[in-house]
């Protein structure tokens, strides 16, 4: 089995190198000591053999059944799935999990030339599934996808890109009724074991980018290198932003302020750019998934925040890096855990309205989920279930009395419900939160 895996590698040098390793260690009984192959040890390879494998680009792949199911559920409704997410979040590796699919890397000039005649190419596709990776690189991506959906209805199409479908002028058709969007976020709590992540604290500090989690050692240069690539490939190519340094300064400032109210005037002052320019850059960051803006929930009361959004960076590793943290105190974990809960909610309930609540006395509920008929679910994120102060919940429920009260706890603790003051509150893990918010609960 291991020899066959070696044969699938993409270059002669890779095959020769790993064939020598196999010759020394044998197929069936690799040693237990750590023998580094790329960024993973052989011992990790052995214990996670059913979970990890290399693709043709010699990158480690991890089975991600939740996301595979999301894509296949979408295919039951429409022929095109648009798989989006930030650069290096794992879109290509996920797309390669359909082993019988016809795969086209649109970064390659040869493939872009083939795709210039979509009808001719699609007639040659024998597979039932076709993947167009980085499809925005071709001249007319919307035409390709429209032809695939309308003229080759037997095909299931997976197209990937690092931004929303309409982020570039190349998309001249919105593909209404033909597509669903799956937004791939950094690694979720239930996926950590498959990625060899030992603890939730490790995930919060290092972030959830797959290659960071699979790396044998920390790489502080990863974050700045990623930002440079993001600006060159996603920002300049799609939006022609000219002021590179100002844009990256704003990115770094937002990472440091992540999880707080967004003050546009203050951001403009600190970055030395105009307020309209900040608004333009924020729009670019939102479209390319670098940040997430959470709007306030309000019934229109004069004491409530009614317009100012909160801003969250897409990954906790970037937050920690640009805050200068190389370790976490318990008080640091609560705010970072809030980011992870946001990822969970967006992954499981992408179409659900997700808001926050805050009044002018700075009493706040982390997340508010309207559930219909005037009821709203209040979600608070805490690292520990210790002493829970109901001050914020008291203020919120005095205005909106109906709905569930949930406290999501980061540290591994068994869920329970209790009455605190006048409120029935359920304390739960991140995984149990999803079950409690599902329509059948």
pLDDT exceeds 80 at position 130:
yes
Asked if residue 177 and residue 155 are part of one domain, the reply reads: yes
Q: Is 175 or 295 the better-scoring residue by pLDDT?
A: 295
Q: Packing angle between helix 275-287 and helix 244-256, nearest 10 degrees?
A: 70
Asked if residue 89 and residue 53 are part of one domain, the reply reads: no
Domain finish residue from 62, 94, 110: 62
Query: For the chain, what is the domain count?
Result: 3
Tens digit of pLDDT for each residue in 14-69?
A: 343 333 333 333 333 443 333 333 334 334 333 343 344 554 444 557 899 999 99
Asked if residue 100 and residue 75 are part of one domain, the reply reads: yes
Asked if residue 273 and residue 206 are part of one domain, the reply reads: yes
Tens digit of pLDDT for each residue in 264-279?
A: 999 999 999 999 999 9
pLDDT exceeds 70 at position 103:
yes
DSSP 233: I
Q: Is 219 or 253 the better-scoring residue by pLDDT?
A: 253
208 located within any domain: yes
Tens digit of pLDDT for each residue in 305-328?
A: 999 999 999 999 999 999 999 999
Asked if residue 71 and residue 179 are part of one domain, the reply reads: yes
List b or e across 387-408, with b for residues whose CB sees 16 or more CB atoms inside 10 angstroms.
ebebebbebbbeebeebbbbbb
**Whole-prediction pTM value?**
0.84
CA distance 170 to 370: 36
Q: Residue 291 in contact with residue 86, Cβ under 8 Å?
A: no
Q: How much is the pLDDT for 411?
A: 84
Stretch 388-407: mean pLDDT? 94
Asked if residue 213 and residue 132 are part of one domain, the reply reads: no
382 located within any domain: no
Tens digit of pLDDT for each residue in 159-181?
A: 998 876 555 566 666 788 889 99
Structural domain of 46: 2-62
Non-local CB neighbours of 429 within 8 Å, separated by 6+ positions: 408, 409, 412, 413, 415
Q: How much is the pLDDT for 236?
A: 86
CA distance 225 to 223: 5
Stretch 78-83: mean pLDDT? 96
């Amino acid at each position: 089995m291991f020899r066959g895996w070696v044969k699938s590698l993409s270059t002669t040098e890779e095959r020769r190198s790993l064939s020598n390793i196999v010759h020394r260690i044998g197929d069936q009984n690799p040693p237990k000591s750590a023998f580094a192959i790329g960024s993973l040890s052989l011992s990790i390879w052995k214990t996670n053999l059913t979970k990890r494998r290399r693709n043709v680009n010699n990158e480690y792949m991890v089975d991600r059944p939740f996301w595979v199911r999301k894509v296949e559920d979408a295919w039951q409704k429409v022929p095109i799935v648009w798989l989006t997410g930030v650069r290096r979040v794992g879109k290509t590796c996920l797309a390669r999990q359909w082993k019988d699919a016809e795969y086209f890397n649109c970064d390659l000039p040869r493939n872009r030339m083939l795709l210039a005649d979509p009808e001719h190419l699609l007639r040659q596709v024998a597979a039932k599934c076709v993947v167009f990776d980085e499809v925005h690189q071709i001249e007319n991506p919307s035409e390709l996808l429209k032809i695939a959906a309308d003229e080759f209805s037997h095909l299931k199409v997976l197209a990937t890109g690092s931004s929303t479908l309409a982020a570039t002028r190349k998309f001249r058709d919105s593909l209404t009724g033909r597509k669903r969007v799956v937004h791939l976020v950094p690694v979720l709590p239930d996926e950590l074991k498959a990625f060899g992540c030992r603890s939730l604290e490790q995930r919060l500090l290092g972030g959830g980018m797959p290659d960071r989690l699979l790396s044998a050692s920390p790489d502080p240069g990863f974050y700045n290198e990623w930002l440079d690539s993001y600006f060159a490939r996603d920002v300049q190519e799609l939006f022609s932003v000219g002021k590179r340094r100002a844009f990256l300064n704003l990115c770094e400032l937002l990472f440091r302020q992540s999880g707080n109210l967004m003050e546009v005037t203050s951001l403009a002052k600190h970055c030395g750019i105009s307020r309209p320019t900040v608004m333009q850059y924020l729009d670019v960051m939102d479209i390319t998934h670098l940040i997430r803006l959470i709007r306030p929930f309000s019934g229109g009361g004069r004491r409530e925040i009614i317009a100012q959004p909160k801003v969250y960076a897409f990954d906790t590793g970037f937050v920690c890096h640009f805050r200068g943290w190389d370790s976490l105190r318990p008080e640091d974990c609560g705010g970072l855990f809030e980011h992870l809960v946001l990822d969970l909610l967006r992954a499981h309930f992408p179409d659900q309205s997700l808001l926050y609540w805050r009044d002018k006395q700075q009493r706040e509920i982390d997340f508010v989920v309207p559930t219909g008929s005037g009821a709203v679910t209040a979600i608070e994120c805490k690292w520990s279930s210790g002493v829970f102060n109901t001050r914020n919940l008291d203020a919120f429920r005095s205005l909106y009395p109906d709905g569930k009260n949930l406290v999501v706890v980061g540290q591994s603790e068994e869920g329970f419900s209790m009455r605190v003051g006048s409120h029935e509150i359920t304390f739960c893990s991140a995984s149990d939160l999803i079950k409690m918010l599902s329509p059948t609960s």
